[in-house]
């Protein structure tokens, strides 16, 4: 066999704890050819959204720089994937192709075809590895041999299992032949022509080193109060690791082991309950991939089939107002504007805006799912699907449909001083705390003092919260007894 291997990078844009890379190094190949192939057409409806493409651009640049520091370089090509791999095999004389597995339905189907075709060649060894989740989706099942649909028993099942230790980052890599050509990252056309992405790029540091720094910042500043502060969007109380996890700039194994190390290093009584709460969020991510793998139609169809006949509204004007952060509901508008500006939204607010869309506006969850897919830097198909079906009451471990978040009360509870709303809805900056989450209830003199005329300076609510809640429950009554 030819003693060269192609290392196919996908959403595993890191050098530490990269099982495919480690296998290539342990295989004692003379040369490793790292390649990233951009083939969005192969992903169908789930090709990268706009915010993801911005992140990918910067992450690829970071990976290329990291490879160069180790003596290698990143080969960038455009698809189709199979044709590109076959071409690279001929150009490099490679006798093996290695990659790390992913679990999105279109990627699984594509990878099966690639693996089958390459295995039919007598001169190429093909192998794939686990790098994206703690446990393979097919490894975990109920006592009845079925996939889990509820998170709590899933988490109890996996949290006692040993998690493999992270793999070390290599100190050096063999050089790549200079005759193997590559595109430059800008050649992929990932950045928008109209540059709306500056604010997103100001907020984040894509790449492996950025992921590690983000984890250490969380451990230093927020981990010991995580359970107390995670629900308050004006506080930096969460890890902000989700986009780094999505692109594989850090692995869940690295996070789980580093948090345990941090507990051992902690001076004073270790805040284990806070770390275990955070670790359960890593478990939720595994659960999302578990559900997507076993129920691959859920990005488009409700897991609870009753919701196929739910009387959704087709109010395009309301959908547009929600997308633009112009609903007249301050907590909702703040979240939607944060999303547009930064490519991110706090999880408490994600639940709030999703409940408002699917229940108060009664607009189908797929519309929200699609908007998030295009605007979130961490738009992961598994997490995005599970989250939206959870909010709509139609998915795995879903909140009951009758659990309808009141966005004004959510604001009063989790943004009592209005700091989050004032940041993202500056026209309400001078509203007093008492009225900032319900300006429609504020006395005329309060609105005048704050220089607010509803319907002019800030929208009137596009829907009555109490009436729309009642109408949503009446709509659910039409389907709740269906089988």
Question: pLDDT tens digits, residue range 201-225?
Answer: 899 999 999 999 999 999 999 999 9
Number of other CB atoms surrounding residue 247 within 10 Å? 27
- Whole-angstrom distance, CA of residue 69 vs CA of residue 457: 53
pLDDT digits (tens, 9 = 90+) for 94-107: 999 999 999 999 99
Burial class (CB in 10 A: 0-12, 13-18, 19+), 349: buried
Percent of the chain with pLDDT over 70: 99
pLDDT value at residue 1: 44
pLDDT value at residue 332: 98
- Range of weakest confidence among 238-242, 298-302, 311-315, 400-404: 400-404
CATH 1.25.40.80 occupies which residues in the chain?
133-162+208-294
Burial class (CB in 10 A: 0-12, 13-18, 19+), 353: buried
CATH of domain 305-477: 1.10.579.10
Per-residue pLDDT band for 2 (boundaries 50, 70, 90) equals: low
Query: What's the average model confidence in pLDDT over 234-253?
Result: 97
- Whole-angstrom distance, CA of residue 383 vs CA of residue 376: 12
CATH 1.10.579.10 occupies which residues in the chain?
305-477
CATH 3.40.50.620 occupies which residues in the chain?
4-131
Q: What are phi and psi of 363, to 5 degrees?
A: -100, 135
pLDDT digits (tens, 9 = 90+) for 425-439: 999 999 999 999 999
pLDDT at 483 over 90: no
Q: Are 224 and 274 in contact (CB under 8 A)?
A: yes
- Whole-angstrom distance, CA of residue 261 vs CA of residue 266: 9
Residue 253, token pair as written in the block:
């194994």
Close Cβ partners of 230 (under 8 Å, ≥ 6 residues apart)? 237, 238, 277, 347, 348
- The whole-chain average pLDDT of the chain stands at 96
Close Cβ partners of 5 (under 8 Å, ≥ 6 residues apart)? 24, 27, 29, 31, 32, 33, 94, 95, 96, 97, 98
Close Cβ partners of 481 (under 8 Å, ≥ 6 residues apart)? none
pLDDT at 59 over 90: yes
Q: What are phi and psi of 228, to 5 degrees?
A: -85, -30
pLDDT value at residue 267: 86
- Whole-angstrom distance, CA of residue 245 vs CA of residue 227: 21
Query: What's the average model confidence in pLDDT over 306-315?
Result: 95
The set of catalytic residues is: 281, 284, 312, 347, 365, 388
Considering the entire predicted model, what is its pTM? 0.96
State whether CATH 3.40.630.30 applies to domain 4-131.
no
Q: Are 387 and 298 in contact (CB under 8 A)?
A: no
Q: Which residue from 371, 331, 381 is spatially nearest to 351, judged by alpha carbons? A: 331
What is residue 403's three-state secondary structure? coil
Per-residue pLDDT band for 270 (boundaries 50, 70, 90) equals: confident
- Whole-angstrom distance, CA of residue 53 vs CA of residue 188: 10
pLDDT value at residue 269: 83
pLDDT at 60 over 70: yes
pLDDT value at residue 171: 96
The packing angle between helices 381-392 and 365-375, to 10°, is: 150
The dihedral formed by the CA atoms of 323, 193, 67 and 29, expressed in degrees to the nearest 10: 90
Report, at the CATH architecture level, how domain 133-162+208-294 is classified.
Alpha Horseshoe (1.25)
Query: What's the average model confidence in pLDDT over 387-404?
Result: 89
């Amino acid at each position: 066999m030819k003693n060269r291997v192609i290392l196919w990078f996908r959403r595993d844009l890191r050098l530490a704890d990269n099982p495919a890379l480690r296998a290539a190094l342990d295989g004692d190949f003379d040369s490793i050819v790292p390649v990233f192939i951009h083939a969005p057409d192969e992903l169908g409806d789930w090709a990268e959204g706009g915010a993801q493409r911005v992140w990918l651009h910067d992450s690829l640049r970071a990976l290329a720089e990291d490879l160069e520091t180790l003596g290698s370089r990143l080969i960038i090509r455009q698809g189709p994937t199979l044709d590109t791999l076959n071409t690279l095999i001929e150009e490099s004389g490679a006798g093996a192709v290695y990659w790390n597995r992913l679990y999105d339905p279109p990627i699984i189907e594509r990878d099966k075809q690639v693996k089958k075709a390459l295995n039919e060649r007598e001169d190429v060894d093909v192998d794939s590895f686990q790098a994206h989740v703690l446990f393979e989706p097919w490894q975990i099942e109920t006592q009845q041999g079925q996939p889990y649909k509820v998170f709590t028993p899933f988490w109890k099942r996996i949290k006692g299992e040993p998690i493999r230790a992270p793999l070390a980052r290599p100190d050096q890599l063999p050089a790549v032949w200079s005759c193997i050509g590559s595109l430059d990252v800008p050649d992929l056309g990932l950045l928008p022509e109209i540059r709306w992405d500056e604010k997103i790029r100001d907020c984040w540091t894509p790449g492996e080193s950025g992921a590690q720094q983000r984890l250490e910042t969380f451990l230093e500043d927020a981990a010991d109060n995580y359970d107390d502060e995670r629900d308050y969007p004006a506080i930096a109380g969460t890890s902000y690791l989700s986009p780094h996890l999505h692109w594989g700039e850090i692995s869940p194994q690295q996070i789980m082991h580093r948090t345990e190390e941090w507990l051992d290093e902690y001076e004073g009584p270790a805040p284990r309950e806070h770390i275990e709460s955070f670790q359960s969020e890593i478990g939720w991510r595994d659960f999302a991939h578990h559900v997507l793998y076993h129920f691959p139609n859920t990005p488009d169809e409700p897991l609870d089939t009753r919701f196929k006949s739910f009387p959704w509204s087709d109010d395009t004007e309301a959908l547009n107002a929600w997308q633009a952060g112009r609903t007249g509901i301050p907590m909702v508008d703040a979240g939607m504007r944060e999303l547009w500006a930064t490519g991110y939204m706090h999880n408490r607010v994600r639940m709030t805006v999703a409940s408002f869309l699917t229940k108060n506006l009664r607009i189908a969850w797929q519309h929200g799912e699609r908007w998030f897919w295009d605007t979130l830097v961490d738009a992961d198909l598994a997490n995005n699907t599970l989250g939206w079906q959870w909010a709509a009451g139609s998915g795995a471990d879903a909140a009951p449909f009758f659990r309808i978040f009141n966005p004004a009360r959510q604001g009063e509870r989790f943004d009592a001083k209005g700091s989050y709303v004032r940041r993202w809805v500056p026209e309400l900056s001078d509203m007093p705390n008492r009225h900032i989450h319900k300006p429609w209830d504020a006395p005329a003199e309060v609105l005048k003092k704050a220089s607010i005329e509803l319907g002019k300076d800030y929208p009137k609510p596009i829907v009555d919260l109490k009436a729309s809640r009642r109408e949503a429950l009446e709509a659910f009554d039409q389907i709740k007894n269906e089988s």
